[in-house]
Chain A
Amino acid sequence: MIEIKNINKTFGDRHVVKNVSFKFLQGKTNLIIGESGCGKTTILKLMVGLHNVDSGSVFYGDQDFPKLDHQGQQEVRKQIGMLFQGGALFDSQTLEENVRFPLDMFTDLSKEEKIERVNFCLQKVKLEGKNLLYPAELSGGMKKRAALARAIANNPKYLFCDEPNSGLDPKTSIVIDELINDLTAELNITTIIVTHDMNSVIEIGDNILFIHKGENWWTGDKSQILNTDNKELYDFVFASKFLKTVFKKS
C-alpha cells in the first residue's frame, strides 16, 4: 500500500498540489483522474520522487519516501515499475534488451534465466517473438505494451502508469487497460494510473481519486462515480453528451 498525506507542491507562484491525502490499495487498480492541468501527473511525480514535495509525506509501507536519503530512495525505486506516457523505451536497445535492462542491473540471474523472464513478460503483454525489434519499429500501442513489460520485469511491488491510453485508439486502450488490471490482480501489486480517459475509469477504477484544481475533490470507486452528486466530478465524467444520454437512458 502507498499512502500520501497532506502533500503540497508549488512551482513559482502556482500552488499545483494542495494538501492532497489518499490511500492507494494493494492488489487494486488505483486511479488519479481529473482535467488536464489539474495536477495529477505532478502528484505521480511527487510520489516517485521525480519532483520533491514542499511538505507532506509519501509512505511506501512504513517508509516516508521524501525523508529517505538518496540511497534509501534508490532502494524503494527498485520496487517500482513505471509506464511513461510516451513509453520511454531506450531507443538504442532492442525490445529484449529494454525488458532485460532492470534484470541486468539488479539481479544475478544467468543469461538463460533473464531471457526466460523477458519472454515471460513479453508474452504477458502479447509481444512474444518481437524480441529483436527496436522501439522505432513498434506502433504506439506496442510501445506502451513493451514499456509495461519492462515495468513488470523485475517483479515490482508498485506499478505507476502515466496516461497509459494517450494517443491510442479505443480498442487498443481497452487492451492496455485490461492488461494492467489483470497484471495488478495476478501479481497483487499496487497500481496507480493517472488518466482522464473515462473508459478506463468505468472499466478498471477500483479506487479513484478525483483531483480538481490541485485538491482532493472526491474519492470512491467505479460504481459510485456514475451516481455522483459532486458537480465538478459530474461535469468531468459526463463531459460527453453521448455518455450523458446513454447513462440517463439506462
Chain B
Amino acid sequence: MLMYRVFSKPQKFSVYIRQIIFEINNIGISSLPIIAIISVFMGGIITIQAAFGFNSPWVPLYAVGFTTRESILLEFSPTIVCLILAGKVGSNIASEIGAMRITEQIDALEIMGINSAGYLIFPKIAGAVFIFPFLIAISMFLGIWGGYVMGVSAGACTSYEYIYGIQAFFEPWKLYYSFTKVVVFAFIITSVSSYYGYHTRGGALEVGKSSTDAVVYSSILILLFALILTNLFLNH
C-alpha cells in the first residue's frame, strides 16, 4: 500500500525533480568521502593479504592484482559498500522521516493535500537508484587504485604484475552482475528505511528504534538478495 502511494503519479513534476536532485546530493554526494576512504584502504588491505597468501613460487604474482580486482568488483564494492551505506544512508532516512512523523510534519503535508509518501519517499528511491551505481563505480576505481598504491609501495608486487593482474581474464558481464546488485540494494536501503521512518509512532525513543530497525532489516535483506542474485548470475 505504501509503495503504491510512493509510485503513484507525482503531483508536480518540477517539485519532484528538484527533490530528486536534492536527494542525489544528500544521499549520494555526501557519502563520497566515507566511500573513498574505505575503498582505498580496503583495496590496499586486500592486495597485501593476497600477496601474503600467494607467497608461493607456484602462484604468479599477477594473481595479486587479479584477486584484488575480483574481490572489489564482485563483492567488496557492490555488497560491503552498500552495507556501509545502509548504515549511513538508511539510518539518516529513517530518522529524518521518523522525526517528521512525530513532529506532525507528515500530517501537515497530508492536510495540504499532498501525497506525503510520494513526496518524501519517491525522490529518495529515485535518487539512490540513480547515484549508487556511480558511487560504486568510484569505489571500484579507488579500491583498485588503493591496492596498486599500497601493494606496490609495500613491496607486495611490482607495478607491472599488478597492472597485468587487474586486466587478466576480465569478463565484462561481471560488471553487469555487480551493478544489478547495486541497483537492487539501493532500492532496498531507501524503501526499507523509508518504511520504518514513515511508520514511526511515539517520540524520540521510537525514532531511534526505527533507525536501528531500518539498518538491521536493510542489511539482512541486502545479504539475502546478494545470495539470491549471486546464485542467479554465477551459479550456472
Contact = CB atoms under 8 A, between A and B. Distances in A.
Given A104-B12, A105-B11, A105-B12, A78 B112 contact: yes
A50 interface: yes
Contact of B104 (A75, A88, A106): A88
Contact of B111 (A75, A80, A85, A104): A80
B57 to A, nearest CB: 61
A77 B103 contact: no
Nearest to B119: A105
B113 A88 contact: no
Contacts of A102: 112
Contact of A77 (B12, B100, B105, B113): B113
Interface string B94-106: 0000011001110
Contact of A88 (B11, B12, B108): B108
B107 interface: yes
Contacts of A77: 110-113
Interface residues of A, number: 24
Contacts, number: 53
A112 interface: no
A201 interface: no
A120 interface: no
A130 to B, nearest CB: 19
A134 interface: no
A84 B112 contact: no
A90 B109 CA distance: 10
B51 to A, nearest CB: 47
Contacts of B110: 49-50, 77
With a 10 A CB-CB cut-off, give which of A74, A90, A101, A105 has the most chain B CB atoms: A105
A56 interface: no
B101 to A, nearest CB: 11
Interface in A73-89: 74-78, 80, 82, 84-86, 88-89
A66 B107 CA distance: 17
Contacts of A105: 11-12, 15, 112, 114
A202 interface: no
A90 B11 CA distance: 19
Contacts of A154: 112
Interface string B27-63: 0000000000000000000000000000000000000
A89 B100 CA distance: 9
Contacts of B15: 104-105
Interface in A47-105: 48-50, 74-78, 80, 82, 84-86, 88-91, 101-102, 104-105
A82 B105 CA distance: 11
Contacts of B103: 86, 88, 91
B107 A88 contact: yes
Contacts of B112: 77-78, 80, 101-102, 105-106, 154
B158 interface: no
A26 B214 CA distance: 46
B206 to A, nearest CB: 16
A106 B110 CA distance: 13
A48 B104 contact: no
A131 to B, nearest CB: 19
B67 interface: no
A106 B108 contact: no
A89 B103 CA distance: 9
Nearest to B104: A88
Nearest to B12: A105
Interface string B107-132: 11011111100000000000000000
Nearest to B18: A104
A82 B108 contact: yes
Interface of B: 11-12, 15, 99-100, 103-105, 107-108, 110-115
